[in-house]
Amino acid sequence: MTQPSKRDVFKPVELIVLSAVLALFVGLTVLLSTRSPLLAVIFFGVAFIVVLVVVAMLVLTFKPNKDEQTELDDEVPPSGH
């Protein structure tokens, strides 16, 4: 069994961090606009979920073509097993 690369391991973390940053922007915008912390937290949560689902759907639609796949295969160093 081959070990996943660091890039493969951290891909979900990257998506969650991206969603959190965009949701934080929405939450801060709502907080600064309305001065209501409860409303800002609600918008943060909704934005986090929506952005996470949209980004995950976009990632699922990505399929590398033959040239990209060979480039990705070349990046992975061969294991010494």
Please give the full DSSP string across 5-39, using - where no structure is assigned: PHHHHHHHHHHHHHHHHHHHHHHHHHHHHH--HHH
Instruction: Express each pLDDT in 17-72 by its tens digit.
Output: 999 999 999 999 999 999 999 999 999 999 999 999 999 999 888 877 787 778 77
What pTM value is reported for the model? Answer: 0.73
Whether residue 74 has pLDDT greater than 80:
no
Instruction: Express each pLDDT in 3-20 by its tens digit.
Output: 877 877 788 899 999 999
Amino acid at 66: K
Rounded CA-CA distance 65/51 in Å is 26
